Structure 1
Amino acid sequence: MADDQHDPAPLLRDFVNTLNVEDAADELTTPAALAGWLAGRGLVQDGARVSGADLATAVALREGLREAMAAHHGPQEADFPDELEDALAALPLRVTLTGTRPRLVPLDPSGTAAAGLSRLAAAIMDAVAAGTWPRLKICQEHTCRWAFLDTSKNRSRSWCSMSVCGNRTKTRAYRARRRA
């Protein structure tokens, strides 16, 4: 299963990016696609059981995480969607005190989608512990909404790519000023 010592931020970023908003391309359209994605990241064993309800939970978790990451752009308090809270509440997790620090672990065996989704939920707390959670952000270009890890020194990055999304935003602002 997934390595407990790695930085969980890329896993969370990649999960949110299973939906490419700009191209309307969704990697998680079927239970089998979800099973393949989870197995490909070592979150479940190959052949894990995945239902339509698991897929709905995964999509709610993904979109809730996208909104949570969008809130990392400023000091404002975020109201997260009820769907995120419902998705997290549906995941079977428990606290364990084994190892060097307390951590969340799934209750389900690794053969279910719930176990893989629980590992994703636990990765949120691992990212908080690693200090990378507030650096996970969503591109502020409204047509993009791609998740990225803000590695800038002052944590002020706004776009997934300055050369693409930053340029689009600045060009639109320039043209609006020129028209006015």
Structure 2
Amino acid sequence: MSERSPAPGGLALIESLVNTVDLESGADSLDTEEGRARFGLTEDALPAARQLRESLRATLLAHAGHPPHRPVTPLGELLAAAPLVITVGPADGAAAFAPVEDGSLLSRVAAAVAEAVTAGTWSRLKACEAADCHWAYYDRSPAGRGRWCSMQVCGARAKMRRYRANAAGQKGSETNKKGS
């Protein structure tokens, strides 16, 4: 779980939604009234919100170069049900994407994705490489090749596992040399 600052713009909504479940413990904040209220959800809307969350997670894993952790409905199929319009401010002429639908979570996510694609930030929103984490984070690294939500937690664990595996492999090869 990340100590990073929130993603910019509308990506913060997506990051926040994906991070409503802790894969390691199984705790899901959407199970609470407070957690649902953060996204304007009713209990009836939970199945669709969870489906959207896992489709987003699969997409964020793809941004990081990883396969989804389980089969999901493709995000594009879900977002197709949330058409957007382009609004233009009368005072300043600023253009923005806005949901056609009245503020549903799906429509707000679709607008956030469209905004991020336009800004060139969409592919920087990723899911952590750690299989027991997959926490969403915004990759602020200069090259855009971040792999973990937290270098201090998930990154350190991965490096320690790799170190131990290498050490065990070297020990095994030394044993084989002595036996020859």
TM-score, normalising length: structure 1: 0.75
- Asked if structure 2 preserves the Cα contact closer than 8 Å seen for 1:38 and 1:116, the reply is yes
Larger Rg: 2
TM-score, normalising length: structure 2: 0.75
2:95 aligned counterpart, secondary structure: coil
Q: Which residue of 2 aligns with 1:154?
A: 143
- Asked if structure 2 preserves the Cα contact closer than 8 Å seen for 1:12 and 1:120, the reply is yes
Alpha-carbon distance between aligned partners in 1 of 2:78 and 2:43, rounded to the nearest angstrom = 15
Residue 61 in structure 1 maps to residue 52 in structure 2: yes
Alpha-carbon distance between aligned partners in 1 of 2:60 and 2:26, rounded to the nearest angstrom = 19
CA separation of 1:34/1:19 partners in 2, compared to 1, >3 Å: closer, same or farther?
same
Alpha-carbon distance between aligned partners in 2 of 1:143 and 1:51, rounded to the nearest angstrom = 27
Q: Which residue of 2 aligns with 1:121?
A: 110
Structure 1 position 179, deviation (Å): 1.3
Q: Which residue of 1 aligns with 2:15?
A: 13
- The structure 1 segments of at least 4 consecutive aligned residues displaced by more than 6 Å after TM superposition are none
Q: Which residue of 2 aligns with 1:132?
A: 121
One-letter amino acid matched to 2:37? G
What value does the CA root-mean-square deviation take over the aligned residues?
Answer: 2.5
Q: Which residue of 2 aligns with 1:37?
A: 38
- Asked if structure 1 preserves the Cα contact closer than 8 Å seen for 2:55 and 2:74, the reply is yes
2:31 aligned counterpart, secondary structure: coil
Q: Which residue of 1 aligns with 2:100?
A: 106
Q: Which residue of 2 aligns with 1:3?
A: none
Q: Which residue of 1 aligns with 2:4?
A: none
Alpha-carbon distance between aligned partners in 1 of 2:49 and 2:26, rounded to the nearest angstrom = 17
Q: Which residue of 2 aligns with 1:71?
A: 62
Kindly, what percent of the aligned residue pairs are identical?
Answer: 39
The count of corresponding residues between Structure 1 and Structure 2 is 155
CA separation of 1:75/1:27 partners in 2, compared to 1, >3 Å: closer, same or farther?
closer
Alpha-carbon distance between aligned partners in 2 of 1:28 and 1:139, rounded to the nearest angstrom = 21
